[in-house]
Each structure stands twice: as structure tokens, then as C-alpha cells.
């Protein structure tokens, strides 16, 4: 396939670019380094310095003999994106090109506006580039389980059948996001659903839970091919942050009571899910929603597992509860369906002790680069 990956420099975008190239697809990776710029502006740089996208592509070529074409453009620029889509003629567009941080979107007006403008304009431009230049293209957009919030009912896989006054119909599952970032993802879904209905686009929306992990088959060939591993309070996901805290000797910071429950998955399973979604395109005029995670944990359960793994390495890990800077339920019902990808062939990698120990050992090699000032919460919803 011709595969166009928007946000190809990101934590997930770069490993996805390598994976699709390794499987024989013709890959074009697009980015404008927005995430790198915002991380630098907020003093939230990744643990391990990574080359830019052009350099990464060259390193990957030297290691594997495989090409990843690179386009450095801003996807909010409709003319630039149209040019790339027209030239690439993609069979599938994998859309990661959004400001990815909930805490960043809650810092203030400027950060909220930048998140809103970037995320919605990019999705709008993707839709119209496909309509104009690649109408048969399958759009695979990375959504988030955070769109659903924490309803007091089971979370279905995207859709919900409702009976009201003796009549039935099926609607997108009600969304109630907890940050502006997650709200932009809700709006993405509604925007895509409108254009699917109106223009017969084919779209898969992947509602992904928080991702953890460092190593993939491709990145193991050269440390310079590792993903952008963030551990700070703004761009770092909770498990990655806990792992770095364990190595740095900082108590694992549980916000509030720690009962917040979500669905998680290993980065290697993210790559599996993208392959499955792209390799099984939907019919024109269909929006397929898949809940993309493998296991559910509370924050307390994650802290317990990291502490156990860290202590097995002699790290003397402790856990500390902090006043919650976020506006969220700390104790709630959470039961989300996620059978779609497993029915398509997903083989989950579960969060066991050997997996955690392996990640801790990689972080230990880079422990001198840890900046402890980046870990405690610097953004408050209130």
C-alpha cells in the first residue's frame, strides 16, 4: 500500500512509520515538529534525545535498506497537505497529527486555542484532501478512550443502540471528555462521521487508551530509532512517568485517591492495531470505531505493579498520594468493550513483571538524564 502517516515524528508516529516500511509498504511520514516545539517551550523534553525525522529516516535506511519518505509540512496548511496527498496517492492515511496532551490543553487560553486550531483544522484538511485527491483512501484516525469519559454504564465499541418511546436507533456512544484535548477528539469523530455520511468516505476511528513502552522490533536495531519517550507531567503517560520516577528515586505520584481507571496497551500492540485497521479497510460510507486497549487498570494498580518490579531491581520504590490537579472522578465504574481488534487478530502483550523490568532496565541506562523538576504536576484544571 501507499501509506501516508501524519505526525510521523511522534511517540507513535515514528514506530508506525518504521513498522509499515518494514512490512513492504511505501511510506511517507509527515510532520512539522509541533510536539517537539511544545515540549521545549514547556521544559518537557523527552528522556532520550532523538534525531529529527529526516535524520531518523536516513538511520533507518542505513540499518535496513528501506526507505521512509519525509515531508516537513504543517497539516493545518491545506495547500501543503493537498500537494502531499495528490503526489502520494495514499491507499491509507494514518492520522496522528494532533497536539496530543490533555494537560497542555488545560494550561491556559493560548494553549487551548493552539490545541483547538491545530487539531480541528488538521482533521478538516485531511477530509478535504481525501475528497479532492484520494476519494478511495481509507482514513485511520487515532482517537482516544478519553472521549468517552467515565459514564456509569458499560462503554460500548463506538456505537450504542437506544430505545426511546417504543422506537430504536443506533447512535455514536455519548461522549463527555475531561480535557479540551479530548474534546477536540470528540469533535474529530463528529466531523468524520458527518463527511462519511455525506461523501461516502471510509474511516476507522481508533479509541486508544494510554500507551506505555519503549522498545519495538525496529527500534532495537539502533538506539537512535527509539521513540520520543516522555516522562513529564504534560506529555508523559502515567505508566511511563511512574517507571522514570521509580528509577529516579521519586515516590510514584498518585493523583488523589488513585481509583481512576482506564484501558492501557503496550506500544507494540499499538503497531499491531494500526496494521490490522489499515489492512482491513472499511467499505465506503462507513465509520468503524474500535476501542484500542488490552487491559484495564486503576492508577493505584499501576503504582503497585511498578513498585513490585522496581523493588525486584533494588530500587526501593515508594508511592505518594498528591492532591489531584485535575477535575475528574477518582472512584467510578469503568467497563469498556474492546473485542473488535482481538476478533481481527490482535495478540495482546500484557503488562506483566518481566515487561516492566525490561523497561526499567532501559531507563536505568539513561538515569543521569532524568530532570526531576519535570515530574510533579505543573498544570491545574482549577
Among 240, 273, 239, which Cα is nearest to 348's?
273
C-alpha cell at 182: 479530548
Note whether 296 and 261 are within 8 A (CB). yes
CA 143/CA 173 separation, integer angstroms: 14
For the chain, count helices (H), then strands (E).
Answer: 12, 14
Whether residue 369 lies in the annotated active site: no
Among 95, 117, 96, 113, which Cα is nearest to 104's?
113
Q: Which of 148, 185, 231, 264 is catalytic?
A: 185
CA 28/CA 370 separation, integer angstroms: 33
C-alpha cell at 153: 454504564
Place of cell 469519559: 149
Note whether 75 and 97 are within 8 A (CB). yes
Whether residue 168 lies in the annotated active site: no
CA 129/CA 79 separation, integer angstroms: 9
CA 76/CA 315 separation, integer angstroms: 45
Q: Which of 104, 181, 231, 264 is catalytic?
A: 181
Q: Residue 360 — φ and ψ, nearest 5°?
A: -60, -40
CA 334/CA 262 separation, integer angstroms: 7
Whether residue 144 lies in the annotated active site: yes
Among 23, 18, 16, which Cα is nearest to 1's?
23
Q: Which of 28, 42, 122, 144 is catalytic?
A: 144
- Looking at the annotation, which residues are catalytic? 144, 181, 185
Amino acid at each position: 500500500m501507499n501509506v501516508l502517516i501524519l505526525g510521523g515524528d511522534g511517540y507513535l508516529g515514528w514506530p508506525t512509520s518504521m513498522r509499515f516500511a518494514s512490512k513492504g509498504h511505501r511510506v511517507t511520514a509527515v510532520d512539522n515538529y509541533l510536539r517537539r516545539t511544545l515540549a521545549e517551550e514547556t521544559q518537557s523534553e523527552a528522556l532520550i534525545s532523538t534525531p529529527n525525522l529526516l535524520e531518523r529516516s536516513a538511520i533507518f535506511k542505513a540499518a535496513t535498506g528501506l526507505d521512509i519518505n519525509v515531508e516537513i509540512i504543517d497539516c493545518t496548511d491545506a495547500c501543503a497537505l493537498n500537494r502531499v496527498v495528490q503526489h502520494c496517492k495514499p491507499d491509507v492515511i494514518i492520522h496522528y497529527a494532533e497536539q496530543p496532551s490533555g494537560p497542555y490543553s488545560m494550561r491556559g487560553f493560548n494553549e487551548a486555542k493552539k490545541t483547538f486550531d491545530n487539531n480541528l483544522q488538521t482533521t478538516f484538511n485531511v477530509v478535504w484532501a481525501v475528497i479532492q485527491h484520494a476519494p478511495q483512501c481509507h482514513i485511520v484516525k487515532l482517537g482516544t478512550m478519553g472521549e468517552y469519559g467515565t459514564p456509569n454504564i458499560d462503554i460500548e465499541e463506538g456505537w450504542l443502540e437506544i430505545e426511546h418511546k417504543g422506537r430504536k436507533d443506533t447512535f455514536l456512544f455519548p461522549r463527555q471528555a475531561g480535557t479540551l484535548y479530548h474534546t477536540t477528539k470528540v469533535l474529530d469523530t463528529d466531523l468524520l462521521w458527518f463527511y462519511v455520511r455525506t461523501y461516502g468516505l471510509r474511516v476507522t476511528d481508533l479509541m486508544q487508551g494510554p500507551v506505555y513502552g519503549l522498545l519495538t522490533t525496529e527500534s532495537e536495531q539502533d538506539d537512535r530509532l527509539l521513540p520520543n519517550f516522555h516522562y513529564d507531567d504534560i506529555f508523559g503517560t502515567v505508566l511511563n512517568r511512574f517507571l522514570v520516577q521509580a528509577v529516579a528515586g521519586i515516590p510514584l505520584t498518585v493523583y488523589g485517591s488513585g481509583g481512576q481507571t482506564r484501558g492501557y496497551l503496550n506500544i507494540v500492540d499499538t503497531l499491531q492495531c494500526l496494521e490490522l485497521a489499515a489492512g482491513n479497510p472499511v467499505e465506503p460510507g462507513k465509520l468503524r470505531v474500535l476501542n484500542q486497549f488490552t487491559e484495564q487498570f486503576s492508577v493505584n494498580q499501576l503504582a503497585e505493579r511498578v513498585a513490585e518490579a522496581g523493588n525486584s531491581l533494588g530500587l526501593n520504590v515508594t508511592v505518594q498520594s498528591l492532591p489531584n490537579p485535575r477535575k475528574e472522578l477518582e472512584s467510578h465504574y469503568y467497563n469498556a468493550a474492546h473485542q473488535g481488534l482481538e476478533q481481527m487478530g490482535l495478540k495482546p502483550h500484557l503488562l506483566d513483571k518481566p515487561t516492566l523490568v525490561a523497561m526499567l532496565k532501559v531507563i536505568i541506562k539513561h538515569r543521569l538524564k532524568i530532570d526531576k523538576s519535570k515530574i510533579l504536576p505543573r498544570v491545574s484544571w482549577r
